[in-house]
Structure 1
């Protein structure tokens, strides 16, 4: 049995989770409340969460950085990631721990929306980094053949652990952009699964 310990995320001292674009009857409302109360996410403004906005590479790395509870500082080899950018320390930490690579040797593309298969790879790397023993296997979706070779193992692992699923037609849609609401839901399930 593997014991997994994640750093406790501090509760925010102030801030509202009553975003005007997150109606209480929406499927993602509980997840948005959950992740914002734990300080993993913030809104794009004081009143807007932007649930349907694509998650960017910089955003997802920053959420993982907060989730890990690290105080890492440093720099990365990416010319498009300034050390004083809001995601700078997160990218440096993730790169130093082999959680991410760039889109090239010198570019990270922090503002580029992340696809569902790219998110699966980043999440799987983080879980392995944190000591979670992931089960390997081929993903079981209608569109599995369209998943990139580099991502299939991660997508399969995320499906088996229950953190990623397909749409109503059983498709994973690997190239589709993943939204802030979807990532919020993934992190709520992750926290609940491991008792955080």
Structure 2
């Protein structure tokens, strides 16, 4: 993989959530998928993103909502959904050793790295096939979009080798304690499984919760932070992030999926 300067931007059909980890192109975007039933909990999120060509299906027309999302796929989702100015650069000719030239997601991976959403691992590795956890997805969104300004790392000079600096390098970051903040307290108070949230992630989860980015099915108060991110949940998280940015209308309250959006202010008011 070479730098973005050496690759033209891929078309939307090549860098969206519908891509599998192969060179097979996805099917055209569509509003309905045969494996997303009418009563499927995440159908409104999926269809809304499909209408904007943010997500598409596979060549067989399916969406595979319960399939786990890999890091390369998540990079593709981010590139399609968000337009951010770069905060760091990859020098010409530098590479992620495990993302070969011609990899379907290489431009999306470089874009997600340069925009500050995702990072690599020591030695210049990206681990493109590694599953993304639910908590990793929330951290990626809050930090990449600067929703938590104190955690955003801005690099104005070229970075010669991608290094692990964010949540997706868990073993190193987990050792760094974070102070108790109001948003951290919110997360600890709201989720019934808050003790499973990694310490390094608690503030980011609190921010995501406060801004209504989190969608939990079937129990809004069960985060399951370390479980794999499913494609349906990824669509829901991205939808809610776009809503928080005023780039998409909120779901109406009479839609069942609305009930799975975490709204801690409603719970607190009901007490």
* Partners of 1:70 and 1:194 in 2: CA distance: 12
Q: 1:137 matched to which residue of 2?
A: 183
Matched, 1:58 2:109: no
Aligned residue pairs: how many?
184
Decide whether the 8 Å contact of 2:142 with 2:148 is kept in 1.
no
Matched, 1:100 2:118: yes
* Partners of 1:188 and 1:152 in 2: CA distance: 22
Structure 1 residue 11: Cα displacement: 9.2
Matched, 1:185 2:199: no
Structure 1 residue 147: Cα displacement: 1.5
Q: CA RMSD in A?
A: 3.1
Matched, 1:146 2:196: yes
* Partners of 1:123 and 1:102 in 2: CA distance: 16
Q: Give ranges in structure 2 of 5+ residues lacking alignment.
A: 1-10, 14-27, 150-180, 248-271
Q: Which has the higher contact order (CA 8 A, sep 6+)?
A: 1
Decide whether the 8 Å contact of 1:83 with 1:89 is kept in 2.
no
Structure 1 residue 136: Cα displacement: 6.5
- Give runs of aligned pairs for residues 21-170 of structure 1, distance below 5 A: 21-69=35-83, 77-128=95-146, 137-138=183-184, 139-140=187-188, 141-166=191-216, 168=219, 170=221
SS of the equivalent of 2:61 reads coil
Q: Give ranges in structure 1 of 5+ residues lacking alignment.
A: 1-9
| TM-score in terms of structure 1 length | 0.79
Structure 1 residue 169: Cα displacement: 7.5
Deviations 1:14-33 (A, max 9, x none): 64333110112212111111
After TM superposition, the runs of 4+ consecutive aligned structure 1 residues lying more than 6 A away are 70-75
Q: Which protein has the larger Cα radius of gyration, Structure 1 or Structure 2?
A: 2
